[in-house]
């Protein structure tokens, strides 16, 4: 065979063209590309009918209105509800992540009974009938033995029908031991009680205030209702309202404020007193208000003048005297100045005298119960249930002192002192706690001194959790009766702490319950009915739904239509009832106890020589640190200077780090009197020398792999310090040391 050039070329070209024209290569290429676009393991969300359901987010005390977008029966996106009084369309990142909780892997699929050792994680699935009869049996037994007081309940909140039903169950049963999770709200309640003689919450007219003096309140990290506060802050920016932030660390709030004044930690009350000193000395206070509406001003004035000169306050706070004087003048000369307190996001109370000292500043400027000031507001009064019928067992049980000492002679004004419960159980000073119910709270994670809390829980024979999620407390419970998550249930949701508006939102099912869960309200009602007698008759409702509808009465319809019911802005009403003291005036000094606004240093734990540094927890809006832990989306937003793989960074001033021989990123041991933890060092110029800071919200041992095992729980390193005036936990930190590994 002889092949010439011509044959050769035709062979090559013909061959190429022939292959190219055959469908085979094209078909194969096309198929392969289609296949890569449709890998069966890459989900393709189904399309369907779009709809929206309004509800309320209860993942934190912020209580925002939400609008949930649905496709057929699936919830696909949570958005902020427009015109909702709290958030008007905005939403925080936790609220936005809600569907990861609804459909997430940490949910408890049905009632569980512990089968192994406590905390081991071995469970047996039981039916709801078995679960409820199990509780009824135990409660019946205790009651028969005449020890109803040994049953307790911890609730995330005490407002709205669900917490009230739980409290009602305890009362009808015969126990005074209903506990609410603490927060700065407790400090404010006590302050208003003592200084204004009212059982009320503070309402802040932030909209009309023109000068904000924040004693460590992280307005942008979750203090108050987080979304509302951010909106308020933006309004301040637009209106040119000045915000002065006083705290030892450059928080986001401090960075956004007009002036950040670093202060020695725990000395905020001293500064408040120092400012009062200047205001009084320079006669900058509202003389009309002071003379007409206040009482015992002179008693307090003497203390202020004698002990809180700018120089002495400067020595305590580390803020120079000149700054104190200027700040006092600016505050007093503003037309609507407002001073607020509650460190960080306000999850923890402050000492009573501190809250009083800050509140006294508002009284000095007369900015109470008027536009741009602070109001005492009462809960909307919509829950009118029949009197609880108490049989003799219940009546005797209710005679007992509370285990936490709240309302006792020592702490007459305090309503709940959950922080004292672990010690009370461990010291066996009163009587044992034999059964504990926990709803919307995760005390084994959130109470400071986690070890002590754990030990106390070990002493309780029956721990029942209503948690929807496998959190730390649920993990250590004996029985879990999982509640629907908020997107599956009805609930009335009062407006959050700090707002002026009288309003109640309606949380309602966005989707059908996804798992074998039950509304905690129904479980309470069923349990009461199971117990029979007067307990049962105290619960005349068939179901929680009917109870709620009946409770809300004519408001129900409005709430279904609008998503919430709102009353008037009760400013006028508040004025009339706000000073209900014996004198009918604002009291600078408690006439019964002589307690007055002042600086009483909180003696935090640890020996200064052994622990030369101070450890402070800090709050970040990107880290939920209460009952709900960070869903995966939120964890994703946590910066790599806070968490890297499983290591948490402790913030240290470069000066402090240098002294300890530590560099940026280096591993170190952080020790406190309560324990030690491995951390990494992050040099941060925004923190005072001598202080180290750790974020709250990490170090979960429960929840899912997206959260568990990351970082450390700062509550394991910090213990509570009792405020001698209120019994509340007033710890703002603990002594610490940082050493090389």
Partner 1 sequence: MDSALIPKGVKRCPLWQFLLFIGAVGIVLLWGVYAMLLCWFKGLNQTNMNDYYGFALWIWADLAVIAVGGGAFFTGLLRYIFGKDELKNIINYAVLIGFICYSSALLILAIDIGQPLRGWFIFWHANVHSMLTEVAFCLSCYFGVLTIEYLPLVLENRQIDKVPFFHHLGHNMHEIMAVFAATGAFLSFFHQGSLGGVAGVLFGRPFAYREGVFIWPWTFFLFTWSAAACGPCFTILVTKITEKVTRKKLVKDNAIELLAKISGWMILTYIIAKTVDTWYWATVTAPSKGFTLMEFYSNNALYGIWILVAEILICGYIPAFILITKKGRKNPLGVWIAIILAVIGVCLNRWVMVLQVMAVPVMTFDHWALYYPSWQEVATTILPVAYGVILIAISYRYLPVFPNEAEMNPIEPLPEEAAAIEPSMAPEQELTPAEA
Partner 2 sequence: MKNNLNHRFGMVIDLDKCTGCGSCMVACMAENNVPFRKDESDKLLSITWMRVFRLNNGKPFPETDICYLPRPCMQCAGLHEGHSPCVSVCPATATDYGMETGIVSQIYTRCFGCRYCMASCPYHSRYFNWWDPIWPDGMEKYLSPNVSPRMRGVVEKCSFCYHRYQLAKDKAFMDGGRELKENEYQTACTQACPANAITFGDLNNPDHAVHRMVKPDLEHGGRPQNPHAFRLLERLGTNPKVYYLSSRKWIRHAGDNYLKNEAKMKKPVHHG
Ligand X SMILES: Nc1nc2c(c(=O)[nH]1)N[C@H]1C(S)=C(S)[C@@H](COP(=O)(O)OP(=O)(O)OC[C@H]3O[C@@H](n4cnc5c(=O)[nH]c(N)nc54)[C@H](O)[C@@H]3O)O[C@H]1N2
Question: What, of partner 1, ligand X, Mo ion, none, does residue 379 touch, CB below 5 to 8 Å by kind?
Answer: ligand X
Residue 503 lies near ligand SF4 (rule: CB under 6 A): no
Residue 76 backbone phi and psi in degrees, to 5: -115, -15
Question: What, of partner 1, Mo ion, partner 2, none, does residue 346 touch, CB below 5 to 8 Å by kind?
Answer: Mo ion
Residue 227 lies near ligand SF4 (rule: CB under 6 A): yes
Residue 430 host element (H or E): none
- Which of 10, 33, 451, 603: binder of partner 1 (CB under 8 A)? 33
CB of 446 to partner 1, least distance (A): 35
Residues listed for the chain: 741
Residue 521 lies near ligand SF4 (rule: CB under 6 A): no
Spell out the long-range contacts of 656-661 with Cβ–Cβ below 8 A and sequence spacing 24 or more.
Answer: 656/613, 656/689, 656/690, 656/691, 656/692, 656/738, 657/681, 657/683, 657/738, 660/738, 660/739, 660/740, 661/740
269: left (phi over 0), alpha (psi -120 to 50) or beta: alpha
Q: How many residues bind Mo ion (CB under 5 A)?
A: 1
Residue 64 lies near ligand SF4 (rule: CB under 6 A): yes
Give which of 267, 333, 321, 278 is closest to 601, Cα–Cα. Answer: 267
Alpha carbons 628 and 638: distance in angstroms, whole number: 16
CB atoms closer than 10 angstroms to residue 672: 25
Stretch that binds Mo ion, among 278-286, 340-348, 654-662, 674-682 (CB under 5 A): 340-348
Q: 205-234: string of b/e by CB count within 10 Å (b at 16+)?
A: bbeebebbbbbbbbbbbbbbbbbbbbbbbe
* DSSP state at residue 527: H
> Of all residues in this chain, which one has the CB nearest to ligand X in the complex?
626
Stretch that binds ligand X, among 69-77, 393-401, 489-497, 648-656 (CB under 6 A): 489-497
| Residue closer to ligand X (CB basis): 214 or 448 | 448
Residue 244 backbone phi and psi in degrees, to 5: -110, 125
CB of 492 to ligand X, least distance (A): 10
Structure-token pair, residue 34: 């289609």
| 3-class state of residue 736 by DSSP | strand
Give which of 600, 65, 578 is closest to 308, Cα–Cα. Answer: 600
Residue 94 lies near ligand X (rule: CB under 6 A): yes
Beta strands in 558-638 (DSSP E): 564-569, 586-587, 613-618
Residues 6+ apart with CB under 8 A from 303: 596, 598
Q: Which residues pair with 339 in a beta bridge?
A: 213
Q: How many residues bind partner 1 (CB under 8 A)?
A: 11
CB of 294 to partner 2, least distance (A): 36
- Which of 55, 85, 95, 293: binder of ligand SF4 (CB under 6 A)? 95
Question: What, of partner 2, ligand X, Mo ion, none, does residue 181 touch, CB below 5 to 8 Å by kind?
Answer: ligand X
- Which of 194, 254, 368, 441: binder of ligand X (CB under 6 A)? 441
Binding mask 662-701 for ligand X (x = CB under 6 A): ----------------------------------------
Question: What, of Mo ion, ligand X, ligand SF4, none, does residue 703 touch, CB below 5 to 8 Å by kind?
Answer: none
DSSP string, 337-381: EEEEEEEETS-S---HHHHHHHHHHHHHTT-BSSTTSEEEEPPP-
| Residue closer to Mo ion (CB basis): 63 or 138 | 63
Residue 341 lies near ligand X (rule: CB under 6 A): no
Residues 327-366 that bind ligand SF4 (CB under 6 A): none
Binding mask 540-559 for ligand X (x = CB under 6 A): --------------------
Question: What, of ligand SF4, ligand X, Mo ion, none, does residue 448 touch, CB below 5 to 8 Å by kind?
Answer: ligand X
Residue 261 lies near ligand SF4 (rule: CB under 6 A): no
Alpha carbons 34 and 252: distance in angstroms, whole number: 48
| Residue closer to partner 2 (CB basis): 463 or 487 | 487
Residue 499 lies near ligand SF4 (rule: CB under 6 A): no
Stretch that binds ligand SF4, among 56-64, 275-283, 316-324, 664-672 (CB under 6 A): 56-64
Secondary structure string (H, E, C) spanning 283-338: CCCCHHHHHHHEECHHHHHHHHHHHCCHHHHHHHHCCCHHHHHHHHHHHHHCCCEE
| Residue closer to ligand SF4 (CB basis): 64 or 444 | 64
Residues 203-222 that bind partner 1 (CB under 8 A): none
| Residue closer to ligand X (CB basis): 213 or 628 | 628
CB atoms closer than 10 angstroms to residue 529: 16
Alpha carbons 698 and 707: distance in angstroms, whole number: 8
Q: Which residues pair with 244 in a beta bridge?
A: 213, 259
> Tokens 């469908």 appear where?
23
Residue 42 lies near partner 1 (rule: CB under 8 A): no
- Which of 24, 27, 35, 542: binder of partner 1 (CB under 8 A)? 35
Decide if 362 contacts 289 (C-beta within 8 A).
no
Stretch that binds ligand SF4, among 53-61, 143-151, 242-250, 567-575 (CB under 6 A): 53-61
CB of 728 to partner 2, least distance (A): 29
| Residue closer to ligand SF4 (CB basis): 60 or 314 | 60
DSSP string, 666-732: -EEEEEETTEEEEEEEEE-TTB-TTEEEEETT---SSS-TTTTTSS--GGGT----B-TTT-SB---
Give which of 736, 718, 697, 544 is closest to 94, Cα–Cα. Answer: 697
Q: In Å, how far are 174, 395, 489, 679, 715 from 151, measured between CA atoms?
A: 9, 14, 27, 39, 26
Give which of 426, 403, 316 is closest to 719, Cα–Cα. Answer: 426
Question: What, of ligand X, partner 2, Mo ion, none, does residue 640 touch, CB below 5 to 8 Å by kind?
Answer: partner 2
Residue 346 lies near Mo ion (rule: CB under 5 A): yes
Residue 479 lies near ligand SF4 (rule: CB under 6 A): no
CB of 399 to partner 2, least distance (A): 47
Binding mask 191-230 for ligand X (x = CB under 6 A): ----------x-x------------------x---x----
326: left (phi over 0), alpha (psi -120 to 50) or beta: alpha
| Residue closer to ligand SF4 (CB basis): 42 or 568 | 42
Cα-based angle 208, 248, 224 (whole degrees, multiple of 5) = 35
Binding mask 2-21 for partner 1 (x = CB under 8 A): xxxx--x-------------
Give which of 251, 262, 180 is closest to 221, Cα–Cα. Answer: 251
Residue 36 lies near partner 1 (rule: CB under 8 A): yes
In the complex, the residues that contact partner 1 under the rule CB under 8 A are 1-5, 8, 29, 32-33, 35-36
In the complex, the residues that contact ligand X under the rule CB under 6 A are 60-62, 92-94, 156-157, 159, 181-183, 185, 201, 203, 222, 226, 345-348, 377-380, 418-419, 440-441, 446-449, 494-503, 569-570, 574, 621, 624-628, 720, 729
In the complex, the residues that contact ligand SF4 under the rule CB under 6 A are 57, 59-60, 62-64, 91-92, 94-95, 226-227
In the complex, the residues that contact Mo ion under the rule CB under 5 A are 346
């Amino acid at each position: 065979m002889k092949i010439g050039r011509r044959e050769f070329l035709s062979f090559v070209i013909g061959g190429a063209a022939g292959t190219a024209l055959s469908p085979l290569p094209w078909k194969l290429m096309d198929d392969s590309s289609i296949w890569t676009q449709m890998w069966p393991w890459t989900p393709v969300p189904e399309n369907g009918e779009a709809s929206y359901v309004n509800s309320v987010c209860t993942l934190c005390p912020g209580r925002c209105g939400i609008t949930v977008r649905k496709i057929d029966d699936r919830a696909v996106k949570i958005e902020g509800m427009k015109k909702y009084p709290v958030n008007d369309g905005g939403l925080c990142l936790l609220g936005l992540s809600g569907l990861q909780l609804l459909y997430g892997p940490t949910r408890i699929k049905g009632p569980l009974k512990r089968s192994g050792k406590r905390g081991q994680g071995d469970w047996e699935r039981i039916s709801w009938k078995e679960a409820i009869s199990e509780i009824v049996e135990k409660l019946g037994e205790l009651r028969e033995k005449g020890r109803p007081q040994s049953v307790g309940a911890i609730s995330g909140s005490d407002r709205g029908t669900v917490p009230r039903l739980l409290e009602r169950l305890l009362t009808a049963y015969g126990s005074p031991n209903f506990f609410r999770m603490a927060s700065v709200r407790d400090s404010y309640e006590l302050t208003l009680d003592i200084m204004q003689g009212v059982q009320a919450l503070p309402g802040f007219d932030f909209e009309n205030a023109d000068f904000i003096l924040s004693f460590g309140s992280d307005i942008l990290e979750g203090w108050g209702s987080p979304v509302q506060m951010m909106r308020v802050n933006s309004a301040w920016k637009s209106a040119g309202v000045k915000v002065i932030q006083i705290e030892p660390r450059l928080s986001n709030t401090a960075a956004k404020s007009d002036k950040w004044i670093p202060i020695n930690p725990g000395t905020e009350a001293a500064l408040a007193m120092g400012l009062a000193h200047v205001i009084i000395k320079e006669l900058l206070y509202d003389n009309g208000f002071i003379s007409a509406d206040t009482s015992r001003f002179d008693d307090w004035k003497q203390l202020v003048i004698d002990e809180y000169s700018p120089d002495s306050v400067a020595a305590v706070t580390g803020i120079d005297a000149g700054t104190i004087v200027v700040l006092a003048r600016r505050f007093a000369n503003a037309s609507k100045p407002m001073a607020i307190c509650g460190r960080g996001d306000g999850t923890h109370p402050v000492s009573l005298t501190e809250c009083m000292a800050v509140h006294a500043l508002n009284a000095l400027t007369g900015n109470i119960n008027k536009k741009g000031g602070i109001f005492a507001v009462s809960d909307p009064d919509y829950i009118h249930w029949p009197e609880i019928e108490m049989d003799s067992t219940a009546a005797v049980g209710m005679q007992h002192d509370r285990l936490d000492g709240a309302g006792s002679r020592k702490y007459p004004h305090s309503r709940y002192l959950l922080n004292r419960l672990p010690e009370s159980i461990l010291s066996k000073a009163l009587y044992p706690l034999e059964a504990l119910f926990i709803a919307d709270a995760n005390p084994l994670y959130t109470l400071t001194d986690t070890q002590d809390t754990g030990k106390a829980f070990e002493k309780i024979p029956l721990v029942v959790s209503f948690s929807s999620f496998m959190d730390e407390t649920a993990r250590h419970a004996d029985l879990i009766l999982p509640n629907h998550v908020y997107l599956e249930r009805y609930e009335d949701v009062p407006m959050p702490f700090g707002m002026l508006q009288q309003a109640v939102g309606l949380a309602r099912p966005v989707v059908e319950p996804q798992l074998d869960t039950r509304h905690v309200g129904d479980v309470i009602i069923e349990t009461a009915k199971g117990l029979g007698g007067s307990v049962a008759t105290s619960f005349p409702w068939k179901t929680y739904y009917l109870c709620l509808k009946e409770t809300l009465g004519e408001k129900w319809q409005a709430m279904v239509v609008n998503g919430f019911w709102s009353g008037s802005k009760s400013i006028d009403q508040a004025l009339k009832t706000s000073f209900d003291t014996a004198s009918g005036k604002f009291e600078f000094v408690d006439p019964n106890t002589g307690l007055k606004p002042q600086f009483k240093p909180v003696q935090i734990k640890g020996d200064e020589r052994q622990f030369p540094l101070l450890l402070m927890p800090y709050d970040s809006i990107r880290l939920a640190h209460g009952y709900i832990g960070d869903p995966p989306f939120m964890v994703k937003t946590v910066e790599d200077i806070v968490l890297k793989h499983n290591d948490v960074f402790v913030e240290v001033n470069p000066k402090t780090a240098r002294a300890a021989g530590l560099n940026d990123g280096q591993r170190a041991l952080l020790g406190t009197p309560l324990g030690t933890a491995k951390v990494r060092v992050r040099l941060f110029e925004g923190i005072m020398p001598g202080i180290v800071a750790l974020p709250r919200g990490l170090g979960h041992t429960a929840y899912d792999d997206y959260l568990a095992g990351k970082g450390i729980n700062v509550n394991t390193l910090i213990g509570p310090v009792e405020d001698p005036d209120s019994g509340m936990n007033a710890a703002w930190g603990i002594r610490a040391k940082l050493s090389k590994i």
